[in-house]
Amino acid sequence: MQPHQPYTPLPPAAPAPAKQTLGDWFYLRRTQVEALAGSMTIKSDFSKDLMEALGRKLRTMEGLISQDTPTATVVTQFQGWLDDYKDHGAWNHYVAEQAKLDKAEADRQEKATKDREISQAKQRASSAAITLTKTYGGGLLSDRGTGRVIAGLAVVNSPATYTGISGVDMHTHATNSVIDELLKGTHKAEEWPQASCAEVDALKSYLHAAPAPIVSIAQIPRGALVFHAQVWNIGGTKGGKYVTPHWQARGACANCTQWVEKIGALLA
């Protein structure tokens, strides 16, 4: 399948375009016009016959170029034909329809780029969390005897990563005014405080490291932060089967999902 070719206007007659350049231009326009004509039916909002006639005119122009007709002459002749309305509006209809295709393709490419950047950020967030778990290969327990959580935070389209550990006694930064503002609108949905989560710790590190001070929730870029969490599974006998203690991926808890959604962050 040929890559998408966006519409470009007719090259000017002066300076005279190169033969290959003009030949390629007419070839692309003809193939696009023929594809448009092929997609049209009796219910289309423009005449299929007129669009096919435009395709034939473009093919004629290609023939003139192959016969070594001066390119300036070909451009002038085709432009004059359009100016005399010999196309009966077919050219303008083609240009308008091609613009729709060009926009759709641009939107597709933009989405593909964004999806790729998000995927890469998810990988970096996961890698950051998993790398830190290796520092605590023998486990990391809370004072309640349950496994602690380690979170990785990555920024879309940036190499920077941050990590956090659950339990305020393990947090790198004691507090942050933006975190305080963020947690005000949440409720305690888990048995532990909202401020104690590993994701909160990682977010505090990100806020403190920001090159330009972030002093309000509104300044946190939406859709740009990605979290990944690992929890220490204490193992033991469960359902008659022994489970070896280990680190495992886990989703954000019910405390964190409240503010994660508020800032438009993503989860890996």
Determine, yes or no, domain membership for 45: yes
Q: Kindly report, residue by residue over 13-66, the tens digit of the pLDDT.
A: 999 999 999 999 999 999 999 999 999 999 999 999 999 999 999 999 999 999
- Asked if 48 and 165 sit in the same domain, the reply is no
Which residues constitute the domain of residue 254?
A: 115-267
Determine, yes or no, domain membership for 148: yes
Asked which of 36, 53, 88 is the last residue of a domain, the reply is 88
Calpha distance 229→144 (Å, rounded): 19
- Asked if 182 and 75 sit in the same domain, the reply is no
Kindly list the distances between the CA atom of residue 202 and the CA atoms of 156, 199, 226, 236, in Å, as whole numbers in the listed order. 15, 5, 11, 29
pTM of the model: 0.81
Mean pLDDT by 10 residues, the chain (268 residues): 90 97 98 98 96 98 98 98 98 98 97 97 98 96 91 96 97 92 93 96 95 91 96 90 95 96 95
Q: For 76, how many CA atoms within 13 A lie in the half-sphere containing its CB? A: 9
- 228 burial type by CB count under 10 A (0-12 exposed, 13-18 middle, 19+ buried): buried
